[in-house]
Structure 1
Amino acid sequence: MTFTRFLKGAALAIMIGVSSVAMVASAGFAQTVDAPMPPAAKPDPNAPVAEPEEEIINLLDREPEPLFSDILAPYAPATAATHGVSNGLRQGALYLMAKLTQDSTPLDDGLIWRIYSETTNSDGRLELVATSEGGDAEFRLDPGTYLIHTAYGFAQATNRIVIGKEVLSKMVTLNAGGIKFNASLKDGDNINHEPISFDVYGMTFDARGERDKIASNVKPGSIIRLSANTYHVVSRYGDVNAVVRADIQVLPGKLTEATVLHKAADITLKLVNERGGEAIANTTWSVLSPGGDIVVEATGAFPDFVLAAGEYEAIARNNGRTYLQKFEVSSGDDNEVEVVTTTSELASQQGTSSN
């Protein structure tokens, strides 16, 4: 029986009871009174005035008092109590729903609910009482104070609630949105198939001057859910120096599509005896910036790197000899850089003798 039906039934019972009393009184009056009643005595004007009786409040006409500021639709348990009458009297029922914004519809999937007791255990940690995944959730809990943790991707909210032996319902507004990540080169084409990843950081710094990392190694085309805020996003193309940073704002209830423009290319190095010749194995490589800083090092016949656009110098070492080759990287122009032993060795020897 729902709460509304219970109240209607109670009202009907009250009305029937009053009618029955009235009928009995009328019957009694007809049996015991044979003559008209004498007129009542004239009231004394000097008698003290009696205090008016307290007005009777009809509970059926009162507006229900909200349990929370964000009221849900009427709640009814999905199933009847399965733990017996004593359990139903001992525990309260908590029904939870969540939505992205005040104006959006409730979420029906992707939610993780965690209920913690407000008191800590012997280890000083909050005790996890119950969990649920999916959309809305229903919990049966002993009376007490609890913390409700709601997670939708990386968007989170924590609320405190006091539960008795009644039925409570609560809507959690996450105030969240999302970001969809993409990356492109100079021609504007997305490069989802390339080794590109995204890391998401908060905007504040800790005591060590580092940002709080929220999500890491997010792949292009992925959508992550975040609380509405501004985030620092770092996109890496390869593992060397092709890095782009940007601050991106997430709006509540909105999906922000963030496309990062990379200026870089994939470069393969080869040490050969002549142009177009076979690569020489067992070669050690160093790639330097124009200022002489080491950008990346590797060993092998065909080292392959993604490098940011700019000028570089390749140093190849093989069989005790060193060979040099300057080259340039243009955005989106994947290329193979050959270091030829004859010309490079002669230039190296001339540079050494001049010193």
Structure 2
Amino acid sequence: MLEAGTNPKSTTVKRCVTNALRAFLVAVPVFMFQGMTSTAQTVEAPLPPAAKPDPNAPSVPREDQIINLLDREPEPLFSDVETSYAPTLRSLAAPDGEGLDQGALYLMAKLTQDSQPLDDGLVWRIYSDTTNANGRLELVATSMGGDAEFRLDPGSYLVHTAFGYAQSTNRVVLGKEVQSKMLTLNAGGIKFGAAMKDGEAIDQEQVTFDVYGMSFDERGERNKIVGNITPGSIIRLSADTYHVVSRYGSVNAVIRADIQVLPGKLTEATILHKAADITLKLVNERGGEAIANTTWSVLSAGGHVVVEATGAFPDFVLAEGEYEALARNNGRTYLHTFEVAPGQDREVEVVTSISELVTQGAASAN
């Protein structure tokens, strides 16, 4: 596995220890769909993400004007194809038998130029290229699965093709004839996984992934493509590089990595977290019963509030590092310093007894 990003961890004085996060990304394209090669490649460790633009900076007019969808030229990925398919001409004939009344459009799609046509997972949508009274394109027909056949009146149409989150839109001009077209999606996919760096088990139910585009908008934010992906899921995407954010729990165990999707390949990406599940308890003595109605604040080594909760057994997943647990109960405040080691889930007891606090203070002084 390759190290995808490291934040140095200092081991100096208390409250001067910074949290460290290291991401390890293993991304190996493997055989995914029919017609694809099995050549293995390794995605190298990504560079740090580009700096966000200043959200307060004055807006700059776009150099390239937004192109009206109706004025778009057909995309080169949409091409005519020879096929043995031929709809029954009688089914296209007008009732009076004077000739064809509609045209036939037969559509197929494949991942790459060299792969076989897909037989499942496609969504085809046919739109009229003129807007209705509400200023919207009218949906004429839909089909799901593999190849698709449409019987349409002569005219110009927009064909939208979706394969997961890989999408393409093309214009077709159809007369009273049969047309067969092939779409090359130039798409691949990512299969997501999560683990701990040193092989310790990780609670898969607490891990999620979000996929973003690489560019920032004028507000300094990335465009989220899909979120809340669970480990083991396969997401189909256009061939490109994506910014992936993996969260373990809901506090601060967050790992980021840039992952490349190759056309016709399945990139198997495993994010390695450095965190642990911590349960806090306020007790009168070591091993005692937890005291209810306790308000908690967990502070970072720099004194910033990381998370807050109320209860006898608050439970959090925390990134590797040093923390302080601040417990408030019955008008009194108790403070305890603890460390989080990757994969070492445990209970942290905050003791109220004076003797325990004195012992802890003497040990800290030494």
Query: Shorter-chain TM-score: which interval?
Result: 0.7 to 0.9
Provide the rounded CA distance (Å) in 2 between the counterparts of 1:111 and 1:132: 8
Give yes or no for contact 1:285–1:315 (8 Å, CA) kept in 2. Answer: yes
Q: Which moved more, 1:335-344 or 1:260-269?
A: 335-344
TM-superposed CA distance for 1:194, in Å, is 3.6
Provide the rounded CA distance (Å) in 2 between the counterparts of 1:255 and 1:340: 51
Q: Which residue is equivalent to 1:77? A: 87
Mark the CA change 1:322 to 1:144 in structure 2 (over 3 Å): closer, same or farther.
same
Provide the rounded CA distance (Å) in 1 between the counterparts of 2:281 and 2:332: 15
The match for 1:127 among 114, 126, 138 is: 138
TM-superposed CA distance for 1:173, in Å, is 0.6
Percentage identity across aligned positions? Answer: 77
Give yes or no for contact 1:242–1:306 (8 Å, CA) kept in 2. Answer: yes
Provide the rounded CA distance (Å) in 2 between the counterparts of 1:241 and 1:106: 44
Give yes or no for contact 1:72–1:171 (8 Å, CA) kept in 2. Answer: no
The match for 2:162 among 141, 145, 151 is: 151
Provide the rounded CA distance (Å) in 2 between the counterparts of 1:192 and 1:102: 40
Find the residue that maps to 1:123 and give its secondary structure: coil
Mark the CA change 1:208 to 1:102 in structure 2 (over 3 Å): closer, same or farther.
same
Mark the CA change 1:253 to 1:346 in structure 2 (over 3 Å): closer, same or farther.
closer
Q: Does 1:268 align with 2:279?
A: yes
Q: Which residue is equivalent to 2:236? A: 225
Q: Does 1:204 align with 2:248?
A: no
Letter of the 2:313 counterpart: F
Letter of the 2:212 counterpart: Y
Mark the CA change 1:320 to 1:116 in structure 2 (over 3 Å): closer, same or farther.
same
Letter of the 1:168 counterpart: Q
Q: Does 1:174 align with 2:188?
A: no
Q: Does 1:162 align with 2:180?
A: no
Q: Which residue is equivalent to 1:117? A: 128
Mark the CA change 1:289 to 1:80 in structure 2 (over 3 Å): closer, same or farther.
farther
TM-score normalised according to structure 2 size:
0.73
Provide the rounded CA distance (Å) in 1 between the counterparts of 2:93 and 2:177: 16
Equivalent residue pairs, number: 281
Q: Does 1:295 align with 2:306?
A: yes
Higher helix proportion, which one? 1
The match for 2:103 among 75, 79, 92 is: 92
Provide the rounded CA distance (Å) in 2 between the counterparts of 1:179 and 1:190: 22
Higher strand proportion, which one? 2
Give yes or no for contact 1:93–1:167 (8 Å, CA) kept in 2. Answer: yes
Deviations along 1:173-218, one digit per CA (max 9) or x if unpaired, are 1000000000110223563634000000001111111111001000
Give yes or no for contact 2:295–2:309 (8 Å, CA) kept in 1. Answer: yes
List aligned pairs for 1:244-259, cutoff 5 A. Answer: 244-259=255-270
Letter of the 2:323 counterpart: Y
Deviations along 1:33-81, one digit per CA (max 9) or x if unpaired, are xxxxxxxxxxxxxxxxxxxxxxxxxxxxxxxxxxx84413222227962
For structure 2, list consecutive stretches of 5 or more residues without a partner in the other structure: 1-77, 362-366
Provide the rounded CA distance (Å) in 2 between the counterparts of 1:79 and 1:178: 40
Provide the rounded CA distance (Å) in 2 between the counterparts of 1:344 and 1:130: 77
Q: Which residue is equivalent to 2:46? A: none
Find the residue that maps to 1:89 and give its secondary structure: coil
Provide the rounded CA distance (Å) in 1 between the counterparts of 2:205 and 2:114: 39
The match for 1:242 among 253, 264, 268 is: 253
Mark the CA change 1:89 to 1:78 in structure 2 (over 3 Å): closer, same or farther.
closer
For structure 1, list consecutive stretches of 5 or more residues without a partner in the other structure: 1-67, 351-355
Give yes or no for contact 1:192–1:221 (8 Å, CA) kept in 2. Answer: no
Find the residue that maps to 1:160 and give its secondary structure: strand
Q: Between Structure 1 and Structure 2, whose CA radius of gyration is higher?
A: 1
Provide the rounded CA distance (Å) in 2 between the counterparts of 1:336 and 1:222: 32
Give yes or no for contact 1:269–1:336 (8 Å, CA) kept in 2. Answer: yes
Provide the rounded CA distance (Å) in 2 between the counterparts of 1:73 and 1:158: 22
Q: Which moved more, 1:101-110 or 1:88-97?
A: 88-97
Q: Which residue is equivalent to 1:140? A: 151
Q: Which moved more, 1:179-188 or 1:105-114?
A: 179-188
Letter of the 2:208 counterpart: S
Higher RCO, 1 vs 2 (CA within 8 Å, ≥6 residues apart): 2
Provide the rounded CA distance (Å) in 2 between the counterparts of 1:190 and 1:82: 61
Give yes or no for contact 2:93–2:101 (8 Å, CA) kept in 1. Answer: no
Give yes or no for contact 1:231–1:247 (8 Å, CA) kept in 2. Answer: yes
TM-superposed CA distance for 1:90, in Å, is 1.8
Find the residue that maps to 2:308 and give its secondary structure: strand
Find the residue that maps to 1:81 and give its secondary structure: helix
Task: Give me the CA root mean square deviation.
Answer: 2.0
Provide the rounded CA distance (Å) in 2 between the counterparts of 1:344 and 1:320: 20
